[in-house]
Amino acid sequence: MIGGMTVHDNSPDLWRSTFPHPSAEGSKYDRGHAVVLGGPMAATGAARLAARAALRIGAGLVSIACDPASLIVYTTALQAVMTKVVRDEAAFTDLIADPRVTATLMGPAAGVNDRTRNLVLAALAARKACVLDADAITVFKDKPDELFGAIRSPVVLTPHTGEFARLFGEVSDREASALRAARTSGAVVLLKGRDTVIATPDGRVVVNRDAPPWLATAGSGDVLAGFATGLMAQGMAVFEAACAAAWIHAECARAFGPGLIAEDLEAEVPSLLRTLLR
């Protein structure tokens, strides 16, 4: 108990019973379809990292929704991840209205602009499981209440400390700040750092402690967002998915060791899955 809050250390015991297992009779469609918003031509790496992570963690299908100009980059750089051209908000709404689309990820290198803001609101209006990261958070820095008012379904916000401050003010006590933010926003809040805090509006607080320092590298947060999205796409509840994603993320970094770059995280997933699915 810390300051009236019960805080649990993250461990598979908290979420293993709901971790998605592929069924022997199932098809890819039974493992969910995640849609990741792609950044523009000059900033495609973050969404690519996230999309591959979502697929690697077990989503049956993953698509990147991109503008026509950047399609060439996504299609040449990705194989198993699909691409869908989205010219405007209406096209994005149509894409994610497909009942087979089970989760969305918005924000990695999306750009801090009206397009991102409108597409985030469209994603939230679809009332599907949704992860909001990076620019999907920053774009609401002047109007956080507009974002909070649109959150009416299972949503995870994944800010680093700087992004957190843009919506909720400076972090003081990390657990108390994350819990306050979850209650204010109505979303699960995953506050990133060496100790990553995951808090829910109804008062649950979990800390994933002591991630290895080499996890602090460009793009590793994009991979984390992809892991959470891929688990949610498979039907895992958002809080458990966020906890599992944070744990797997840090364990992948520990397994790889120093010298890690974001691209390396994904390669460590299969051996962790072998253990978790045993």
Residue nearest ligand ADP (C-beta atom): 221
CB of 225 to ligand ADP, least distance (A): 8
d(CA 140, CA 116): 10
Q: How far is the CB of 154 from ligand ADP (least distance, A)?
A: 21
Please write down the long-range contacts of 170-177, taking CB distance under 8 Å and 24 or more positions apart.
173/3, 174/207, 175/2, 175/3, 175/5, 175/7, 175/199, 175/205, 175/207, 176/2, 176/3, 176/5
Q: SS in 3 state form for 16-51?
A: HHHCCCCCCCCCHHHHCEEEEECCCCCCCHHHHHHH
Report what 159 binds from ligand ADP, ligand NPW, none; CB cut-off 5-8 Å by kind: none
Judged by beta carbon, residue 15 or residue 168, the one nearer ligand NPW is 168
* Among ligand NPW, ligand ADP, none, partner that 102 touches (CB below 5 to 8 angstroms by kind): none
Structure token pair of residue 185? 């926003």
The answer to whether the CB of 151 falls within 8 A of the CB of 185 is yes
Phi (first) and psi of residue 113, to 5 degrees:
-160, 175
128 is in an annotated binding site: no
| 196 has binding-site annotation | yes
Residue number with CB closer to ligand ADP (101 or 252): 252
Please report, as ranges, the residues that interact with ligand ADP according to CB under 6 A: 134, 160, 192-194, 196, 211, 213, 215-216, 218-222, 224, 249
Please report, as ranges, the residues that interact with ligand NPW according to CB under 6 A: 43, 45-46, 108-109, 134-135, 138, 160-163, 218-219, 221-222
Annotated binding site: 46, 160, 192-196, 221-222
